[in-house]
Amino acid sequence: MSSNNGLYPGLNLGSVHDEAHQQAEATVFGFWVFLMSDLIIFGILFASYASYLNPIGMAGAPGPQALFNLKSVAIQTAFLLFGGVAYAGVSLSMKYDHGAKKLIGWLLICALLGGGFLFFEISDFIDQAAKGGKPQASGWLSSYWLLVGLHGFHVFSGIVWILAMVGQILTRGVDDVVKVRLSMLGVFWHFLDLIWVGIFSFVFLVPLA
Amino acid sequence: MSGQSSPTFGNLDWEVTPYTDLLEHVNSSTIIGAGAASVLVLGAFAGIALLTYMRWWKPLFRDWLTSADAKKIGIMYIALALVMMARGIIEGLVMRAHQATALGALDKAETGLVAPDHFAQLFSTHGTIMIFFVAMPLLIGLINFVLPQQLGARDMAFPVLNQVSLGLTAAGAGLVMVSLLIGDFGTGGWTMYPPYTGLDYSPGEGVDYWLWAILISGVGSTLTGMNFAVTIFKSRAPGMHLMRMPLFCWTSLCVAIMLIYAMPALTVSSAMLALDRYAGFHFFTNASGGNMMNYANIFWMFGHPEVYILILPAFGVFSEISSTYSGKRLYGYTSLVIASMSIAVVSFMVWLHHFFTMGQSAGVNIAFGIATMIIGIPTGVKIYDWMATMWRGRVRITAPVVYLVGFFLLFVIGGLSGIILANPSIDYQVHNTTFLVAHFHNVIIPGVLYGMLAGVHYWFPKAFGFRLDESWGRRTALLFVGGFIFTFMPLYVLGLMGLPRRSPTFQDPDFLPWMYIASFGAVLMLAALFCLLWTFWKSYRHRMSLSVPGGDPWNGSSLEWSTPAPVPEWTFASIPKVQARGDWGETKRAGDPWRAPDSYADIEMPANTAHGLIIAGMAFALGFAMVWHIWWLAALSFFAITAALIWRGMRVIEPRIIPARQVEEEDRRFREYVAGATPITRADEESERNRGVPDCSEFAG
Amino acid sequence: MFLLAGMTAAIALAMAPASAHGVVEDSFLQPMGPVAAEQSKHLLRVIGITMIVILPVLIGVPLILWRYRYRKPRGAYSPEWEYSEKLEYALWGVPVLIVIVLAGWLWHSTAKLDPYQQLGPDPLQVQAIGLDWKWVFIYPEQGIATVDELAIPVGRPVQLMLTTDTVMQSMLIAPLTGQIYAMPGMSTQLNFSASRAGTAEGENTQFNGSGFGRQKFKVRALDPDEFDRWLDGPDSGLTLDEATYATLRRQSVLADAKSDLGLERSTGPLVMSLGARDVFDRVIGKYHRTGNGENAADAEAWGGIGLPAPAKQESGQ
Ligand code: HEM
Ligand SMILES: [Cu+2]
């Protein structure tokens, strides 16, 4: 455990002092484990979404054709993917020590893009509810709202986390703990993209196909 | 719950306690309900009075509740489990007593000790408590206590997270407890199948109590699983390769992996049911496209792995004690590792056997039936491996060995009934009957309960510095074995005779003799519980003559026996360098095992914090508020939890440093003690001469 | 050992013919038809072969304990022995072989006893609707319906379609066939036949509220001519129409439901003539006509789909 190369290529931990390093490694590993667990949750929700995606599950309530607005979904996808790209800025400025200002700048860009995603998602939800597509209308709609809503909630938490990190950078500077957390945040942020790809294809595209 | 919901108190009002029922009708059922509530209230008062009188509040807060030490957290888990177990066993007895008096007729209202609805609450709380708040905390507690010591680590990877997990489990247990006094519990059993538990058929707070207890403690268990996994992968002592880990660590690893993958399913099914109940969603309702089959499916994706989560740590314990008490190496280490891992993996592929009778095609049933039987193979191999471990050994019949033998003889019968149930064609007949009840108690009690109690007995000296009284320990074990046989063997018969589980009444007088036998058995189980408490009490009184400061009372071979008893907060004065499997045993074999380390260094330990306690309190408030629809409190506690998490994240938390000098001093004292003590052979293990310093020359295994 | 003896004794006892007053049989170990007979035979077969792996434990553990006990050991002490290749093969091999045999039997018996498989041509069609806490049986071809009584002719296969109009239930007629769940808006089925005359007890095994323990019904396997006489026999004078059904749908056991319907309060069977032949389908259909769909109103027919309002006088709690 003497060398830190290969562990987190982008991390550039300062004074490599073994104990802290080990803790960082455990923390990052633990976070991956957490995401695995989270992935199971999404997996189950995808499966149940599929199981309600039939006339009985839709119970005569408005279905995908009536509710989905692919254009808005495409815009949301763009926001989220650009958000993911923008996080590369965070990672790079962390790696090359570009300073707190740049770091905060990139973080805020990510938060903004995430916010844009949420704006369109929520307006879709409002629109759908107005068309009778409330989660209370059918089993299929319940599963749609839960799955997509949970992802949206994750994005929201991601934004809160970004803001909390900005707060931490301002109060404690870019220390090792902050770096480790930023790298975990990055994993989380990209994880949300990954889930979204699943949602985009299975939730939105498949029923319309 | 009579009037309108109020903004301040939600659905709470003065009529929610069982005393109201008692005032309305006085009968055995309401008396028992009010009695149970009174025990809760009086117990709480007695506890508060005791703490105040003994001036224990401060130590309790400082040394326990705010401690992030995995060993203490483990002990607290086990204490919680024992309290909950007392309630669970008493409920079991009340149910048995009820059924013994419940012979009725189709045209007459149900009779017996308790009303049907009360009976339904009893089996629901009993099942929920026993699985989630007895078995789980027992095994999580034991793993917390033992795992780091066996791995050669000072603590879990995330000590404070560990504290939070304990807090969440306790908050869930607290919710189930409070339901004794405030309102009713659900009546859908520990599985809470909708649509019966949906809003239409179960209005009121009962199901919500279950939901919030499960959701909150479920998060705790998921986090625990992650903590265990990271600890095992990242915190092993140098040289502790995976294939050198004691078997208990391996089964803990299986548990960790299974918790990580299985708990989310429970969280999802419960969250969906909660959305149905609170927000009018239609996941599992009868109407509007809901489908209860999805609940069964998701619930058992958790539920089946769960039973192996329960049993695997017990298998770990049995591996340790069969070897230690036979004075022999564990037979078939690699086999046992492979068997444990394959059980963990295959257990994710069999969940459908819990609903063979849902009407799917024969082909599906065949596939899952065969998969289920396949799990029997590694399980059987394990049992034979332990027998081979004892073969040509020198077996001391200590209390843990009595549990082990009880396990051998009874568990195979549970295995037999398991194989029977794995046949869909037979399951059609005995599913949902007391045959099933007998089966799962038959694996859970001899497996999980005996295993955990054996483990508690085995490691107790490590925690408190003194052994438990062997004679009383053996008596306890024998009572648990006898109690089990009398309580549950009759249920096999009743099941074959066609008695459905959860029956508040029955009409066939032929059932009665079996009911009486089972009730007698339940009395024995209660006696066993008292005997267990008596063992603790008696051993506590004789703690001086039972003390084992040398730390190795059973002449064991894994790392935890190399440290003093009670084990210091930092566990190891210096982290051991592991050379072999059963490293401590090998060291003893090589002679001079108690050599002091070359040097001492400062030790970093996690600082005490009230973080877990605060989260626990807020989580309890959140659950309670949701149950009673006290929305302001729910929102407040939710934001308080979020704020606590963010606030802690913002701060730089310094560890507590234990100066090398202090460590050295204590360690020297320990080594001097050992050097001065007279080593004993195993023949003296149960005598006062056992000071925890074994005769190394006898160590051969 | 004594455990095993106990277990065998217990099974033997359970298999002993029902005692004198027990005219109603309630166990599949006294089968009244081929399905249950096969199931009980399969049970014994499975117990038998599994004994091969269990007996060594039941016998070996006490022996080992006695022979190698610390106080007075006999036989060698080999503390470092931890592996034997031959033994490994046996330890894994025997259970594997047994499971292979068991799996073969499992496959065979599960396929053979598939409850969806008709037992012969021209089965008697019966439909069952589970209510809280009673079962309605409908004979669409014969135009009658009963509550808590299922009569079937000996020797003729029966095809029983099930659904429920409340929460999930599970119907078990142990001496004749295994159980299957019944769920609202869906139908499942059981195929079985009786090979001797007699009365079996049928029940719901899935807890569904306080009346659960009394949700039992009689299954009468009658000789064919007696069955015909039963069909022509007296009925309650009631017709299973929407109103009667709505009353039956309330949470009550049979005896109380009868007094709700203005009949004498008793556990005797309730036989009615059938109003509409498609009651069963309509009850299932109720659950598909909900939400904002076109025929949403149909969900309110036939007693609706929610928890029914209780009868006027609060039934004693
Ligand atoms: C110690 C003595 C015990 C007694 C006397 C006892 C008795 C009972 C009884 C009478 C029932 C209801 C059976 C029925 O539905 O007909 C029951 C159910 C159950 N018991 Fe126990 N039990 C004991 C210990 C345990 C333990 C240690 C566990 C698990 C760790 C456990 C887990 C359960 C579960 C999960 C249920 C099912 C509840 C349900 O129907 O949803 N029990 N027990
Ligand atoms: Cu299972």
pLDDT in tens, B250-301: 999 999 999 999 999 999 999 999 999 999 999 999 988 899 999 999 999 9
Ligand nearest to the CA of B515: 1
How does pLDDT run across A131-144, given as a tens digit for each residue? 999 999 999 999 99
Question: So what's the pLDDT on residue A94?
Answer: 86
Ligand nearest to the CA of B434: 1
| Residue C183: C-alpha distances to residues B122, B195, C163, C199 (Å) | 26, 9, 5, 26
C-alpha B345 – ligand 2 centre gap (Å): 13
Question: So what's the pLDDT on residue C297?
Answer: 61
Q: Which residues of C touch A60 (CB under 8 A)?
A: 289-294, 296
Q: Whose CA is nearest to atom 33 of ligand 1?
A: B127
C46, C82, C87 ranked by CB distance to B329: nearest: C82
Environment class of residue C56 by beta-carbon count within 10 Å: exposed (0-12), middle (13-18) or buried (19+)?
A: middle
Question: So what's the pLDDT on residue B275?
Answer: 97
Low-confidence ranges of chain C (pLDDT < 50): 1-2, 17-22, 314-317
ipTM of this complex prediction, to 2 decimal places: 0.93
Least confident of B299-313, B537-551, C22-36: C22-36
Q: Which residues contact B38 (CB under 8 A, 6 or more apart)?
A: none
Q: Whose CA is nearest to atom 7 of ligand 1?
A: B92
Mean pLDDT taken over chain A: 88
Mean pLDDT of B238-254: 96
Cis (ω within 30 of 0) for the bond into B195? yes
Q: Which residues of C touch B362 (CB under 8 A)?
A: 110-111, 114, 116-117
- Confidence band of A189 (pLDDT split at 50, 70, 90): very high
B329, B385, B426 ranked by CB distance to C79: nearest: B329
Question: So what's the pLDDT on residue C1?
Answer: 46
Question: So what's the pLDDT on residue A5?
Answer: 38
The answer to whether A138 contacts B282, with C-beta atoms less than 8 Å apart, is yes
> How many alpha carbons fall within 13 Å on the CB side of residue B345?
8
Please answer whether residues B89 and C296 qualify as being in contact, where contact means their C-beta atoms are separated by less than 8 angstroms.
Answer: no
pTM of this prediction? Answer: 0.94
Q: Which residues contact B342 (CB under 8 A, 6 or more apart)?
A: B378
- Ligand 1 test: best mutation among B96, B123, B481, most atoms within 8 Å of CB? B123
Reduced 3-state DSSP string for A83-150: HHHHHHHHHHHHHCCCCHHHHHHHHHHHHHHHHHHHHHHHHHHHHHHHCCCCCCCCHHHHHHHHHHHH
Please answer whether residues B16 and B206 qualify as being in contact, where contact means their C-beta atoms are separated by less than 8 angstroms.
Answer: no
Q: Which residues contact A161 (CB under 8 A, 6 or more apart)?
A: A185, A188
Q: Whose CA is nearest to atom 32 of ligand 1?
A: B127
SS3 at position B44: helix
* Contact residues of A toward B, CB < 8 A: 19, 22, 25-27, 29-30, 33-34, 36-38, 40-41, 44-45, 48, 51-52, 56-59, 61, 135-143, 145-146, 160, 164, 167-168, 171-172, 175, 177, 181
Chain C, window 167-206: residues with a beta carbon less than 8 angstroms from a chain A beta carbon: 185
Is pLDDT above 80 for B3? no
The answer to whether B383 contacts C68, with C-beta atoms less than 8 Å apart, is no
What is the distance in angstroms between the Cα of C301 and the nearest Cα belonging to chain A?
17
Residues in chain A: 209
Is the minimum CB–CB distance between B601 and chain A shorter than 8 Å? no
Q: Which residues contact C78 (CB under 8 A, 6 or more apart)?
A: B328, B392
Please answer whether residues A9 and B233 qualify as being in contact, where contact means their C-beta atoms are separated by less than 8 angstroms.
Answer: no
Nearest residue to A138 via CA among A207, A65, A52, A202: A52
Least confident of B65-79, B184-198, C230-244: C230-244
Ligand nearest to the CA of B197: 1
Q: Collect contacts of C81-87 with beta carbons under 8 A, ≥24 apart.
A: C81/B328, C81/B329, C81/B331, C81/B392, C82/B329, C82/B330, C82/B331, C82/B332, C82/B333, C83/B331, C83/B332, C83/B333, C83/B334, C87/B388
How does pLDDT run across B102-125, given as a tens digit for each residue? 999 998 999 999 999 999 999 999
Residue C24 located in a structural domain = no
Token pair, residue C262, equals 């203005």
C-alpha B263 – ligand 2 centre gap (Å): 15
Residue C244 located in a structural domain = yes
C6, C7, C290 ranked by CB distance to B287: nearest: C290
Please answer whether residues B547 and B465 qualify as being in contact, where contact means their C-beta atoms are separated by less than 8 angstroms.
Answer: yes
Chain B, window 89-108: residues with a beta carbon less than 8 angstroms from a chain C beta carbon: 102, 104-107
Question: So what's the pLDDT on residue B14?
Answer: 83
Mean pLDDT of B447-463: 97
- Residue C197 is part of a domain; what is its CATH number? 2.60.40.420
Question: So what's the pLDDT on residue A95?
Answer: 84
Is the minimum CB–CB distance between B687 and chain C shorter than 8 Å? no
Is pLDDT above 70 for B690? yes
Taking the mean position of all CA atoms in its chain, how far away is CA C177? 7
SS3 at position C69: strand
Please answer whether residues C209 and B201 qualify as being in contact, where contact means their C-beta atoms are separated by less than 8 angstroms.
Answer: yes
Residues in chain C: 317
Is the minimum CB–CB distance between B150 and chain A shorter than 8 Å? no
SS3 at position B574: coil
Cβ < 6 Å from ligand 1: which residues? B 89, 92-93, 95-96, 123-124, 126-127, 130-131, 134-135, 189-191, 434, 437, 441, 444-445, 448-449, 487, 501-503, 522, 525
Residue C198 located in a structural domain = yes
Please answer whether residues B580 and B244 qualify as being in contact, where contact means their C-beta atoms are separated by less than 8 angstroms.
Answer: yes
Q: Which residues pair with B694 in a beta bridge?
A: B680
What is the distance in angstroms between the Cα of B356 and the nearest Cα belonging to chain C?
9
Is the minimum CB–CB distance between C310 and chain B shorter than 8 Å? no
How does pLDDT run across B619-664, given as a tens digit for each residue? 999 999 999 999 999 999 999 999 998 888 777 788 899 999 999 9
Is the minimum CB–CB distance between C290 and chain A shorter than 8 Å? yes
Enumerate residues with CB within 5 Å of ligand 2 (an ion).
Answer: B 304
How does pLDDT run across B471-521, given as a tens digit for each residue? 999 999 999 999 999 999 999 999 999 999 999 999 999 999 999 999 999
> How many alpha carbons fall within 13 Å on the CB side of residue B119?
28
The answer to whether B395 contacts C21, with C-beta atoms less than 8 Å apart, is no
| Domains: count for chain C | 1
End-to-end CA distance of chain A: 52
Name the residue ranges covered by the structural domains of chain A: 18-208
Question: So what's the pLDDT on residue B294?
Answer: 95
B201, B329, B420 ranked by CB distance to C167: nearest: B201
Question: So what's the pLDDT on residue C18?
Answer: 46
- Confidence band of A10 (pLDDT split at 50, 70, 90): very low
**Angle formed at CA B194 by CA B193 and CA B198, multiple of 5 degrees:** 135
Residue C57 located in a structural domain = no
Nearest residue to C178 via CA among C235, C118, C113, C127: C113
- Confidence band of A208 (pLDDT split at 50, 70, 90): confident
Q: Which residues of A touch B649 (CB under 8 A)?
A: 164, 168, 181
Which of A136, A165, A171 should we substitute to test contact with B (largest number of B Cβ atoms within 10 Å)?
A: A136
Q: Which residues contact B575 (CB under 8 A, 6 or more apart)?
A: B152, B153, B154, B237, B238
State residue B311 phi and psi, 5-degree precision: -85, -30
The architecture of the domain spanning A18-208 is Up-down Bundle (1.20)
Q: Whose CA is nearest to atom 36 of ligand 1?
A: B127
The answer to whether C14 contacts B493, with C-beta atoms less than 8 Å apart, is yes
Structural domain boundaries, residue C145: 124-300
**Alpha carbons C110 and C94: distance in angstroms, whole number:** 24
Q: Which residues of C touch A61 (CB under 8 A)?
A: 291-293
How does pLDDT run across B147-177, given as a tens digit for each residue? 999 999 999 999 999 999 999 999 999 999 9
Please answer whether residues B132 and B172 qualify as being in contact, where contact means their C-beta atoms are separated by less than 8 angstroms.
Answer: yes
C-alpha B212 – ligand 1 centre gap (Å): 21
Mean pLDDT of B431-460: 97
The answer to whether C65 contacts B392, with C-beta atoms less than 8 Å apart, is no
Question: So what's the pLDDT on residue C7?
Answer: 58
Residue C89 located in a structural domain = no
Is pLDDT above 70 for B344? yes
The amino acid occupying position B163 is Q
Give the whole-number percent of chain B exceeding pLDDT 90.
89
B222, B275, B291 ranked by CB distance to A37: nearest: B222
Chain B, window 239-268: residues with a beta carbon less than 8 angstroms from a chain C beta carbon: none
CB atoms within 10 A of CB C225: 9
User: Residue with structure tokens 């508690």?
Assistant: B456
Q: Where is pLDDT greater, at A96 or B437?
A: B437
Mean pLDDT taken over chain B: 94
Radius of gyration of chain C (CA): 26
Question: So what's the pLDDT on residue A80?
Answer: 94
The answer to whether C289 contacts A60, with C-beta atoms less than 8 Å apart, is yes
* Contact residues of A toward C, CB < 8 A: 56, 58-62, 132, 137-138
Q: Where is pLDDT greater, at C258 or A12?
A: C258
The answer to whether A60 contacts C185, with C-beta atoms less than 8 Å apart, is no
Token pair, residue C46, equals 């499975």
Chain C, window 11-70: residues with a beta carbon less than 8 angstroms from a chain B beta carbon: 11, 13-15, 18-19, 21-22, 24, 26-29, 36, 38-39, 42-43, 46-47, 50-51, 53-54, 56-58, 60-61, 64-65, 68-70
Is pLDDT above 90 for B386? yes
